[in-house]
Amino acid sequence: MMNRAKAADARRQKSVEEKSQLFKNVEIDDELSLAPLKFHSKRLLDLSGISISYEPEHPLFENLSLSIESGDRIALCGKNGSGKSSLLKLIAGQNIPHSGHVGVPASLTISYIPQDTSFLSGRIRSFLEERELDESLFKSILHKLGFRREDFDNDMTGFSAGQKKKVLLAASLCERAHLYIWDEPLNYIDVISRIQIEKMLLESGATVLFIEHEVFSMPLRRNGFT
């Protein structure tokens, strides 16, 4: 019994060391990076008196005002169906039925990740050509996020939800923008990739507006997020 207990302790210690080394390797070898653009003014955009309604009698929300300044990292919180994704789409330039003032300068470059990934299909090469993304950089980011090389030649229709989200994340990280708008970027993402993404955001100084239900379990001001 003593020998079995010692063997079990040895296995547990080996497991702890392997996991510690894994996190160390992520930190040292597989760091993500982001190179945001610098806007000509500190204030990026202003929204005032915004109401969004797909049915006039049932607005999702009313009279919302929001300003975003360079360097802000903002988590948008609210119940399901309260209009969070619609607001992000509106800021990103999509045609969303609304009233109020949307003050987004024409010179502001936005990189947007939608919540829905079901539209991804076809080969990655075609996706890169359509988005005019650097193939080497894109594949390097996906590799850091745990993609296998053989996955690069597969049809994205068969990708898992996590793989599809990583494709969109990698595309956004390839883009230089003043503002990054991400709708649930960590959905279906493994814990190692989450650590990489959070570390990258904290160190890059990028301006980010995002929705992520996972942050509800932690203080939103932790680690510089508001």
Q: How far apart are CA 204 and CA 5, in angstroms?
A: 47
Domain positions in the chain are 31-226
Lowest mean pLDDT among 42-46, 71-75, 83-87, 211-215: 211-215
Place 12 in a pLDDT band, splitting at 50, 70 and 90.
low
pLDDT digits (tens, 9 = 90+) for 36-71: 999 999 999 999 999 999 998 889 999 999 999 999
Helix (H, G, I), strand (E, B) or coil at 128: helix
Q: Please give the mean pLDDT across all residues of the chain.
A: 85
Q: How much is the pLDDT for 17?
A: 52
Per 3-state DSSP, what percentage of the chain is helix, strand, and coil (rounded to 5)? 45, 20, 40
User: Is 3.40.50.300 the CATH number for 31-226?
Assistant: yes
pLDDT digits (tens, 9 = 90+) for 140-176: 999 999 898 888 889 999 999 999 999 999 999 999 9
Q: How much is the pLDDT for 9?
A: 62
**pLDDT at residue 27 above 70?**
no
Largest CA distance in the chain: 73
Q: What is the pTM of this model?
A: 0.81
pLDDT digits (tens, 9 = 90+) for 181-213: 999 998 888 888 888 888 888 888 899 999 986
- Provide the angle, in degrees to the nearest 10, between the axes of the packed helices 161-174 and 135-144: 130
Q: How much is the pLDDT for 210?
A: 94
Q: How much is the pLDDT for 6?
A: 60
